[in-house]
Amino acid sequence: MDYRMRRFKQQISDEASKKILCASTNGILSLTNADGSPYGVPLSFAYDGNSSIYFHSAVTGHKIDCINHESRCSFCVVAQDKIVPEEFTSYFRSVIVNGRIKVVDDDSEIMKGLLLLCDKYSPGIDSSSEINKCISHVKILRLDIETMTGKEAIELIRPIS
């Protein structure tokens, strides 16, 4: 389904949303269990700057079981959430992407995902020995983005008086 944001004046551009995905360090991946119940898990991630988000995972587990059951997913990143008690609100910026997630099985793409993650979380550090150490017991997951919506508090759009 394609939903139009009710508060469309608060929607941020795709470019701003992509910047949030590049800069943020964690988000919540929402999946579906085999019984139809929701499962949300906080994860570190790397956005490729284009149309995919990469995650690493154990070879087996709850997350893999959910992905094997249903590839549709949602991923939410909150870039800012400043609580403003006297205004009964928060000044937030967030991005939600929807798409399909899969376990990557191509060796070159597995390496691409691992390098993106290493470059993001350990920039400037040679990651080859760490990758060699973990490659046999890690899965790389790729979320193919179908929709992306960024939103910010109305107070961040209009001048604060």
Cβ-count burial of 50 within 10 angstroms (0-12 exposed, 13-18 middle, 19+ buried)?
exposed
- Could you tell me the domains of the chain? 8-155 (2.30.110.10)
Q: Is 161 helix (H, G, I), strand (E, B) or coil?
A: coil
Reported as a single tens digit per residue, the pLDDT across 74-109 is 999 998 778 888 888 778 789 999 999 999 999 999
Mean confidence (pLDDT) of the chain = 89
Reported as a single tens digit per residue, the pLDDT across 64-76 is 999 999 999 999 9
Query: In sequence order, what are the residues at sequence separation of 6 or more whose Cβ sits closer than 8 angstroms to the Cβ of residue 37?
Result: none
pTM: 0.89
Phi and psi at 44, nearest 5°, equal -80, 160
